[in-house]
Structure 1
Amino acid sequence: MDRFDERLSAYASRPGWTAVLGYEEGDVVGFCFGTTLAPDTKCWNSMLTPLSASTMSENGKRTVALNEIVVRKAWRGRSVAWQLHEAWLTHRTEERVTLLVNPLNGDGAVQAVYEAWGYRKLGDRQPFADSPVFSVMLRSVTQGDV
């Protein structure tokens, strides 16, 4: 939990950070948050799969990173994550959104959900020496855009 608190504080202090909370009858059922990638982002530095310079180019307005999406257990399987995700993206002005997903979570089911939401895998990334290897996924902020 300390590591999460540390990361949350770091993310929330960055320009462009926003969050969405979901409620049902006054109970918080989930949340998601993320922040704009700065021109000097190190987001693409730990890629294990080489990407083109144009893919990695950031100007502080191009890409938003979805840092976390969490739904309480009792509300899972009811499209709450999708609703939170889309509500959060509604207020974003960037052209694309990226996220990391552990491809082993749910034996690949979590990554398949993001694919169903329009994300495509760009490659693999290990952001910290002690972290798993994640799939880096990307999609347009506005569904239907290329």
Structure 2
Amino acid sequence: MTVEIRHYTAGGLPEIRQTILDIHAEVRHKDFGLTGPFYSVERFNERLSTYASRPGWTAAVAHEDRDPVGFCFGVPLGPDTRWWKPMITPLPEEMTKEDGKRTVALNEIVVRRPWRGRGVAWQLHETWLAQRQEERVTLLVNPAAGDGAVQAVYEAWGYRKIGDQQPFPDSPIFASLVRPVKRS
């Protein structure tokens, strides 16, 4: 299935913010039953604003006809990034030294239930990455999501686990994964 994917920079966030928040609530709360302060729409909106305030933030939103079906967004890791700080086992410095051009973090990728299993997440992911100039992409995944199936999907996309981290005191422990932006 092919969907229409539109790209946005931080300047376009007001146009897509409510769509992103609505999809987040539908998928995280209704579909996956994720509750608690960390998963609240308010906290997610705060994180969205924080990510979008950083240089280089971009998003991609997929539509089929007029229906929004999913989104992804991320931001490059700058020299002052805290991304690698919450690693449970610290990584070597050569893995974590950032300059704003080396690594882009895929902060979120979410697809609504009726469009899951149809290749939409892959299309979003690859279309978003095609616009990126960084060397590598990193993301966090809850290893319990889908009884490990979500992490397995990322690994099938070429990601490899490099460790675990807990970025917020009330967040789950996430697997930290990385892969080249351009696959050979």
TM-score by length of 1: 0.97
Which residue in the other structure is 2:91 paired with?
51
Give the corresponding residue for 2:164.
Answer: 124
User: Within the alignment, does 1:107 sit opposite 2:147 as a pair?
Assistant: yes
**Cα distance in 2, alignment partners of residues 129 and 24 from structure 1:** 37
Between the aligned partners of 2:173 and 2:110, the Cα distance in structure 1 is 20
Q: Kindly provide the CA deviation profile for residues 73-121 of structure 1, in whole angstroms up to 9, marking residues without a partner as x.
A: 1100101000000000000000000000000001100000000000000
Q: Secondary structure at the match of 1:127?
A: coil
The one-letter amino acid of 2:177's match is: M
Q: Counterpart in 1 of 2:29?
A: none
Partners of 1:41 and 1:50 in 2: CA distance: 15
CA RMSD of aligned residues (A): 0.6
- Deviation sequence 1:24-70 (CA, Å, 0-9, x none): 11211111000000111011001002211000010111000000001
Q: Which structure 2 residue ranges, 5 or more long, are not aligned?
A: 1-40
> What residue number does 1:31 align with?
71
1:16: which partner in 2? 56
Aligned to 1:79: 119
Indicate the SS of the match to 1:88. Answer: helix
Aligned residue pairs total 144
List 4+ stretches of structure 1 deviating above 4 A.
Answer: none
1:5 positional shift: 0.4
SS in 2 for 1:122: strand
Shift of 1:135: 0.2
Q: Which residue type is aligned with residue 147 of structure 2?
A: D
Listed as ranges, the gaps of 5+ residues in structure 1 are: none
What is the identity, as a one-letter code, of the residue corresponding to 2:74? G
Q: Percent identity?
A: 67
Amino acid at match of 2:53: S
TM-score by length of 2: 0.77
